[in-house]
Structure 1
Amino acid sequence: MLKRTVLFILLSVGFSGMKAQQTIPFRITKHNNIIVKALVNKKDSLDLMFQIAMKEYSISPERKHKADHIIFNKEEVSDHNTVEIGKINQKNVRFFDNQLTGHEADGKIGTGIFDGKAFKIDYDNNQFVMYDKMPDLKGYQPVNIILDHDGFYLAADNIIDGDQQQEAYFVLQSGFSGTILYSNEFAEEKQLDKKLKVTGEKTLKNSEGKILITKQAILPYFKLGKSVFKDIPAGFFSGELKTQNVSYLGADMLRRFIWIFDAERKMAYIKPSKYFSEPYYKMN
């Protein structure tokens, strides 16, 4: 009888541990974007790109799959939808219409699915993991996070000229395929067009004839936590249009780590992934 009781307790603990976490499989495109398969309103099968800088869902005007069962109002908003992703079922989900997304995607999925839970972006096993309690963090290093308007901000060091470190805040941007994109303010203040080796540029004009120049350059060193990267591609803008208000830490940098975010979104924990030393993504 005692053995049966002990066995029952052990099984109960095991099953409760299983219930404490849920997984969502994903795939990674050649552009470093994470794609999740979703069934919306039990009718529309969609490929959604994970966008860490938003909470809700959205549909792209350039989608490849039909989304006929998502009904939008005049403000291009649709409420009270159901979404099935793996074994997870969500109700009263909001979608926004006509928002551009990444390659191979019909729309976007934000972080709202993880509300109230810690979650991991596991690039080694191509899955998200949601936790009711924080998992074992052995081997991870902590990074402070600031959550602002659904964006996850963190500080990193940039060595632009000589050995002087320049700290900057970056918003995690999984929809941007590259490594780093600097804000207009940072690029002008640090004179990136003069101090970095520029490897390419494009000139664009808007309908008013104002010029926007996109530049690709090489940053000598970039430090995130304890990890240091050498000769990293970095983008920035110059010209009359000042549209880039924040700096991005893009998908090419995100994939180089496994990330765990606490439920309060105050801390992230990172360790190198299998992509840590992969060649850098080349922007067109």
Structure 2
Amino acid sequence: MLKKTGLFLLLAIGFFSSKAQQTIPFRITKYHTIIVKTMVNKKDSLDLMFQIAMKDASISPDRQHKADHIIFNKEEISDENTVDIGKLSLKNIRFTDNQLAGHEADGKIGTVLFAGKSFKIDYDNNQFVMYDKLPDVKGYQPIPVLYNNGAFYIVADNIIDGDRQQEAYFALQSGYSGGILYSNDFAEEKELDKKLKITGEKTLKNSQGQRIITKQGILPFFKLENFVFKDLPVGFFAGELKTQNVSYFGADMLRRFIWIFDADRKTAYIKPSIYYSEPYEQLK
């Protein structure tokens, strides 16, 4: 009997350890960005915005809380920092100084949170979940992911004119509060300024007097695998400066799904979140 009991316990321990997990709570701002409360180097309490398009961490010049215990060199780099989030403790975290982080954030932190692990972004329960092995993904839609230089890229179809689908790569960009933002090349090649119904426009000038024009139009259909969004507001740049080299899948779109990424960063699994049918973010 004791042998059977011991065998059962070993099997049970093996089963649960294969699904071992840790959770990191977060809050979602009104700008759809994710804020994680951290303790850096055991002394600096900082609200860091999660940025899926970066690996390490950074501090903003516009921070609201002090970061006196992060020591930067002359290249504005600081290595060997500790970051504590609840019961999770991370070591040897690199911070870069003077990087803007957006509203309500003292800085940013990236996917160093999940190094070597599968992870979930659970917008329904306001938490990240990390797994030693891929969890049960029944009910999720798998989508291919390209992971390059610390950023995730997905492919989606854009129906701009009639029923013709235009395929494009999008970088997942949790720091951009809007939804879809097209690269300059895509906007010009597909003539978005002419083919989309334009609903908004903003003009800015840089210090050299060059114009930066942001436009918002209505895309008839946007298709991500089996998920289709109709009459989706999308943004793109016009004017003299051509600075947007990558198309973004921003925070307003990210929050519409629960995401699970495999440890190899080759596949994501998605299903609708509680925000799936929320009104779209409009051009401000």
The TM-score range, normalised by the shorter chain, is over 0.9
Distance 1:189 1:231, change over 3 A: same
Which residue is 1:125 aligned to?
125
Tell me, in whole angstroms, the C-alpha distance in 1 between the residues paired with 2:214 and 2:83. Answer: 38
1:140-196 CA distance string (max 9 Å, x none): 111111111111011000111111111110000000011100000000000001111
CA shift for structure 1 position 128? 0.7
Which residue is 1:46 aligned to?
46
Q: TM-score scaled by structure 2?
A: 0.96
Tell me, yes or no, if the aligned pair for 2:145 and 2:268 is still in contact at 8 Å.
Answer: yes
CA shift for structure 1 position 8? 3.4
- The question of 1:204 aligning with 2:204 is answered yes
Secondary structure of residue in 2 paired with 1:193: helix
Sequence identity, in percent? Answer: 73
Stretches (4+) displaced over 2 A: 1-18
Secondary structure of residue in 2 paired with 1:42: coil
1:106-132 CA distance string (max 9 Å, x none): 100100121111111111111111111
Tell me, in whole angstroms, the C-alpha distance in 1 between the residues paired with 2:154 and 2:111. Answer: 17
Which residue is 2:111 aligned to?
111
Opposite residue 5 of structure 1, the aligned amino acid is G
Tell me, in whole angstroms, the C-alpha distance in 1 between the residues paired with 2:276 and 2:205. Answer: 37
Structure 1, unpaired ranges of 5+: none
Tell me, yes or no, if the aligned pair for 2:18 and 2:132 is still in contact at 8 Å.
Answer: no
CA shift for structure 1 position 282? 2.3
Tell me, in whole angstroms, the C-alpha distance in 2 between the residues paired with 1:135 and 1:216. Answer: 39
- The question of 1:78 aligning with 2:66 is answered no
Secondary structure of residue in 1 paired with 2:187: helix
Which residue is 1:30 aligned to?
30
- The question of 1:243 aligning with 2:243 is answered yes
CA shift for structure 1 position 13? 4.3
Secondary structure of residue in 1 paired with 2:63: coil
Tell me, yes or no, if the aligned pair for 2:80 and 2:92 is still in contact at 8 Å.
Answer: yes
CA shift for structure 1 position 21? 1.1
Structure 2, unpaired ranges of 5+: none
Q: TM-score scaled by structure 1?
A: 0.96
- The question of 1:5 aligning with 2:12 is answered no
For the aligned residue pairs, the C-alpha RMSD in angstroms reads 1.4
CA shift for structure 1 position 102? 2.0
CA shift for structure 1 position 7? 5.9
Which residue is 2:17 aligned to?
16
Opposite residue 17 of structure 2, the aligned amino acid is S
**Stretch deviating more after TM superposition (1-10 or 249-258):** 1-10
Tell me, in whole angstroms, the C-alpha distance in 2 between the residues paired with 1:235 and 1:146. Answer: 23
- The question of 1:67 aligning with 2:67 is answered yes
Tell me, yes or no, if the aligned pair for 2:180 and 2:233 is still in contact at 8 Å.
Answer: yes
Opposite residue 12 of structure 1, the aligned amino acid is I
- The question of 1:148 aligning with 2:148 is answered yes
Which residue is 1:184 aligned to?
184
Opposite residue 212 of structure 2, the aligned amino acid is L
Opposite residue 44 of structure 1, the aligned amino acid is D
Tell me, in whole angstroms, the C-alpha distance in 1 between the residues paired with 2:108 and 2:266. Answer: 24
Opposite residue 117 of structure 1, the aligned amino acid is K
Tell me, yes or no, if the aligned pair for 2:200 and 2:283 is still in contact at 8 Å.
Answer: no
- The question of 1:138 aligning with 2:146 is answered no
Tell me, yes or no, if the aligned pair for 2:160 and 2:195 is still in contact at 8 Å.
Answer: yes
1:234-255 CA distance string (max 9 Å, x none): 0000011000000000001001
How many correspondences in the alignment? 283
CA shift for structure 1 position 17? 5.0
**Stretch deviating more after TM superposition (204-213 or 33-42):** 204-213
